[in-house]
Chains A and B, each alone.
Chain A
Amino acid sequence: MPKSLFVDPAEVREAGKVVFKDIPVNQYNKTIKEELKSGKYKREDLIRIFRDMTVLREFETMLNLIKTQGSYNGIDHTYPGPAHLSTGQEAACVGQAYLLDENDFAFGSHRSHSEILAKALSTIEKMSDEQLMEVMENFLDGKCLRATEKLGECKDKKELAIRFILYGTLSEIFARETGFHMGMGGSMHAFFLPFGIYPNNAIVGGSGTISTGAALFKKINDKKGIVVCNVGDAAMARGPVWEALNFAAMDQYKTLWESHNDGMPILYNIFNNSYGMGDQTRGETMGQDRMSRIASGVSPTQFHAETVDGYNPLAVIDAMERKLELLRNGQGPVMLETVTYRYSGHSVSDQNAYRTKEEIDTWKEVDPLVTYPAKLVEAGVMTEDEVNAILKETSDRMTMICKAAADPEFSPYCDFNKDPAVVERLMYSNEKVEKFDDREPEYLVPKEEAEGYKKIKSKVRNSVDENGKPVSKMKMYNLRDALSEVIYDRFYEDPTMIAYGEDCRDWGGAFAVYRGMMDALPHSRIFNSPLAEGAIVGTAVGYALSGGRALVELMYADFIGCAGDEIFNQMSKWQAMSAGILKMPVVLRVSVGSKYGAQHSQDWTALCAHIPGLKVCFPATPWEAKGLMETALKGTDPVVFFESQRIYDIGEQFHEGGVPEERYEIEIGDVNKVRDGKDVTIITIGAALYRAVDAAKQLSEKYGMEADIINLHSLVPLDYTKIVESVRKTGKVVLVSDACARGSFLNDVSKNITELCFDDLDAPPVVVGARNWITPPFEFDEYFFPQASWIIDAINDKIVPLNGHVSENGCTEAEALRRAKQGV
Chain B
Amino acid sequence: MANAVIMPKAGITVESCIIGNWEKKVGDEVKVGDILFTYETDKASFECESTAEGTLLEIFFDEGDEVPCLVNVCAVGNKGEDCSALRPSVDGAEEAPAPVEKAEPEAVAAAPAEAPAVQSTAAEGKKSPVSPRAKKLAERAGVDASLATPTGPNGRIIERDVRAIMENPPVAAEASAPVAAAAPAEEEYTDVKFSGIRKAISKSMHTSLSTMAQLTHNTSFDATTILEYRKALKAMGGDYAGITLGDIVLYAVSRTLKNHPDLNAHMLDDTSIRLFKHVNLGVAVDTPRGLMVPTIFRADEMSLLEISKAVKELAAQCREGNISPDKLSGGTFTVSNLGSLGVESFSPVINPPQTGILGVCKTIDRVRKAADGSIEIYPAMCLSLTYDHRAVDGSPASRFQKELGENLENFTVLLAK
Chain A facing B: main interface SS? loop
Q: Does B109 contact A (CB under 8 A)?
A: yes
Interface residues of B in 297-343 (CB under 8 A from A): none
Q: Is the CB of B152 within 8 A of A730?
A: no
Q: Is the CB of A803 within 8 A of B158?
A: no
Partner of B113, one of A680, A704, A759, A761: A704
Q: Does A760 contact B (CB under 8 A)?
A: yes
Chain A residues contacting B153 (CB-CB under 8 Å) are: 763, 797-801
Q: Is the CB of B156 within 8 A of A759?
A: no
CB distance from A319 to the nearest CB of B (A): 67
Q: With A730-B107, A762-B159, A797-B153 given, is the CB distance from A705 to B133 under 8 Å?
A: no
Q: Is the CB of A802 within 8 A of B112?
A: yes
In the bound complex, what is the Cα–Cα distance between A759 and B131 (angstroms)?
Answer: 8
Q: Is the CB of A704 within 8 A of B110?
A: yes
User: 9 closest Cβ contacts across the A-B interface?
Assistant: A679-B110, A762-B133, A731-B133, A704-B113, A762-B159, A762-B131, A759-B132, A729-B107, A705-B110
Chain B residues contacting A758 (CB-CB under 8 Å) are: 132
Q: Does A172 contact B (CB under 8 A)?
A: no
Chain B residues contacting A773 (CB-CB under 8 Å) are: none
Q: Does A703 contact B (CB under 8 A)?
A: yes
Which segment of B68-76, B94-102, B114-122, B387-395 sits at the interface? B114-122
Residues of A near any B CB (own CB < 8 A): 678-680, 703-706, 729-732, 758-763, 797-804
In the bound complex, what is the Cα–Cα distance between A760 and B105 (angstroms)?
Answer: 11
In the bound complex, what is the Cα–Cα distance between A801 and B159 (angstroms)?
Answer: 12
Closest to A732 in B: B109
Q: With A797-B153, A803-B113, A803-B117 given, is the CB distance from A762 to B158 under 8 Å?
A: yes
Interface residues of B in 90-149 (CB under 8 A from A): 106-110, 112-114, 116-118, 131-136
Chain B residues contacting A798 (CB-CB under 8 Å) are: 153
Q: Does B255 contact A (CB under 8 A)?
A: no
In the bound complex, what is the Cα–Cα distance between A729 and B109 (angstroms)?
Answer: 8
Q: Is the CB of A705 within 8 A of B159?
A: no
Chain A residues contacting B106 (CB-CB under 8 Å) are: 729
Q: With A798-B153, A803-B117 given, is the CB distance from A763 to B110 under 8 Å?
A: no
Chain B residues contacting A679 (CB-CB under 8 Å) are: 109-110
Chain B residues contacting A678 (CB-CB under 8 Å) are: 107-110
Chain A residues contacting B133 (CB-CB under 8 Å) are: 731, 759-762
Chain B facing A: main interface SS? loop
Chain B residues contacting A760 (CB-CB under 8 Å) are: 132-133, 136
Chain B residues contacting A800 (CB-CB under 8 Å) are: 110, 151-153, 158, 160
In the bound complex, what is the Cα–Cα distance between A244 and B360 (angstroms)?
Answer: 104
Partner of A803, one of B109, B112, B136, B159: B112
A to B CB contacts below 8 Å, 24 in the list: A679-B109, A679-B110, A703-B112, A704-B112, A705-B112, A706-B110, A730-B109, A731-B109, A732-B109, A758-B132, A759-B133, A759-B135, A760-B133, A762-B131, A762-B133, A762-B134, A799-B152, A800-B151, A800-B158, A800-B160, A802-B112, A803-B112, A803-B114, A803-B117
In the bound complex, what is the Cα–Cα distance between A798 and B156 (angstroms)?
Answer: 10
Chain A residues contacting B159 (CB-CB under 8 Å) are: 731, 762
Total interface residues on B, using CB and 8 Å? Answer: 24
In the bound complex, what is the Cα–Cα distance between A731 and B131 (angstroms)?
Answer: 10
In the bound complex, what is the Cα–Cα distance between A762 and B135 (angstroms)?
Answer: 9
CB distance from B106 to the nearest CB of A (A): 8
In the bound complex, what is the Cα–Cα distance between A199 and B343 (angstroms)?
Answer: 100
Q: Is the CB of B160 within 8 A of A759?
A: no
Chain A residues contacting B160 (CB-CB under 8 Å) are: 800
In the bound complex, what is the Cα–Cα distance between A762 and B132 (angstroms)?
Answer: 6
Chain A residues contacting B118 (CB-CB under 8 Å) are: 801
CB distance from B177 to the nearest CB of A (A): 23
CB distance from B68 to the nearest CB of A (A): 20
CB distance from A706 to the nearest CB of B (A): 7
Chain B residues contacting A731 (CB-CB under 8 Å) are: 109, 131, 133, 159
Q: Is the CB of A759 within 8 A of B136?
A: yes
CB distance from B90 to the nearest CB of A (A): 14
Closest to A796 in B: B153
CB distance from A725 to the nearest CB of B (A): 11
In the bound complex, what is the Cα–Cα distance between A15 and B311 (angstroms)?
Answer: 120
Closest to A804 in B: B117
Chain A residues contacting B134 (CB-CB under 8 Å) are: 762
Apart from the given pairs A763-B131, A800-B158, 15 other A-B contacts in the complex at a CB distance below 8 Å = A704-B110, A729-B106, A730-B109, A762-B152, A762-B158, A763-B152, A763-B153, A763-B156, A798-B153, A799-B153, A801-B116, A801-B152, A801-B153, A802-B112, A803-B112
Partner of B116, one of A759, A799, A803: A803
CB distance from A681 to the nearest CB of B (A): 12
In the bound complex, what is the Cα–Cα distance between A705 and B114 (angstroms)?
Answer: 12
Interface residues of B in 152-176 (CB under 8 A from A): 152-153, 156, 158-160
Chain B residues contacting A729 (CB-CB under 8 Å) are: 106-107
Chain A residues contacting B158 (CB-CB under 8 Å) are: 762-763, 800
Q: Is the CB of A680 within 8 A of B110?
A: yes
Chain A residues contacting B107 (CB-CB under 8 Å) are: 678, 729-730
Closest to B106 in A: A729
CB distance from B155 to the nearest CB of A (A): 11
In the bound complex, what is the Cα–Cα distance between A582 and B145 (angstroms)?
Answer: 58
CB distance from A673 to the nearest CB of B (A): 16
In the bound complex, what is the Cα–Cα distance between A337 and B8 (angstroms)?
Answer: 77
In the bound complex, what is the Cα–Cα distance between A800 and B118 (angstroms)?
Answer: 10
In the bound complex, what is the Cα–Cα distance between A180 and B17 (angstroms)?
Answer: 62
In the bound complex, what is the Cα–Cα distance between A706 and B110 (angstroms)?
Answer: 8
Closest to A813 in B: B154
Chain A residues contacting B113 (CB-CB under 8 Å) are: 703-704, 803
In the bound complex, what is the Cα–Cα distance between A731 and B118 (angstroms)?
Answer: 20
Partner of A761, one of B108, B131, B151: B131
In the bound complex, what is the Cα–Cα distance between A803 and B112 (angstroms)?
Answer: 7
Closest to B116 in A: A803
Closest to B131 in A: A762
In the bound complex, what is the Cα–Cα distance between A678 and B110 (angstroms)?
Answer: 7
Chain B residues contacting A759 (CB-CB under 8 Å) are: 132-133, 135-136
Closest to B162 in A: A762
Closest to A754 in B: B132
Closest to B117 in A: A803
CB distance from B262 to the nearest CB of A (A): 45
Chain B residues contacting A802 (CB-CB under 8 Å) are: 112
In the bound complex, what is the Cα–Cα distance between A801 and B216 (angstroms)?
Answer: 54
Chain B residues contacting A762 (CB-CB under 8 Å) are: 109, 131-134, 152, 158-159
In the bound complex, what is the Cα–Cα distance between A706 and B404 (angstroms)?
Answer: 75
Chain A residues contacting B117 (CB-CB under 8 Å) are: 803-804
In the bound complex, what is the Cα–Cα distance between A799 and B158 (angstroms)?
Answer: 9
In the bound complex, what is the Cα–Cα distance between A678 and B108 (angstroms)?
Answer: 8
Closest to B108 in A: A678
CB distance from A640 to the nearest CB of B (A): 36
In the bound complex, what is the Cα–Cα distance between A679 and B160 (angstroms)?
Answer: 11
Chain A residues contacting B108 (CB-CB under 8 Å) are: 678
Chain A residues contacting B152 (CB-CB under 8 Å) are: 762-763, 799-801
In the bound complex, what is the Cα–Cα distance between A798 and B152 (angstroms)?
Answer: 8
Chain A residues contacting B132 (CB-CB under 8 Å) are: 758-762
CB distance from B111 to the nearest CB of A (A): 8
In the bound complex, what is the Cα–Cα distance between A801 and B110 (angstroms)?
Answer: 12
Chain B residues contacting A705 (CB-CB under 8 Å) are: 110, 112
Closest to B154 in A: A813
Closest to A760 in B: B133
Chain B residues contacting A730 (CB-CB under 8 Å) are: 107, 109
Closest to B160 in A: A800
In the bound complex, what is the Cα–Cα distance between A703 and B114 (angstroms)?
Answer: 9
In the bound complex, what is the Cα–Cα distance between A731 and B160 (angstroms)?
Answer: 11
Chain B residues contacting A799 (CB-CB under 8 Å) are: 152-153
In the bound complex, what is the Cα–Cα distance between A134 and B133 (angstroms)?
Answer: 63
In the bound complex, what is the Cα–Cα distance between A759 and B133 (angstroms)?
Answer: 5
Closest to A706 in B: B110
Chain A residues contacting B136 (CB-CB under 8 Å) are: 759-760
CB distance from A51 to the nearest CB of B (A): 58
In the bound complex, what is the Cα–Cα distance between A802 and B111 (angstroms)?
Answer: 10
Closest to A727 in B: B133
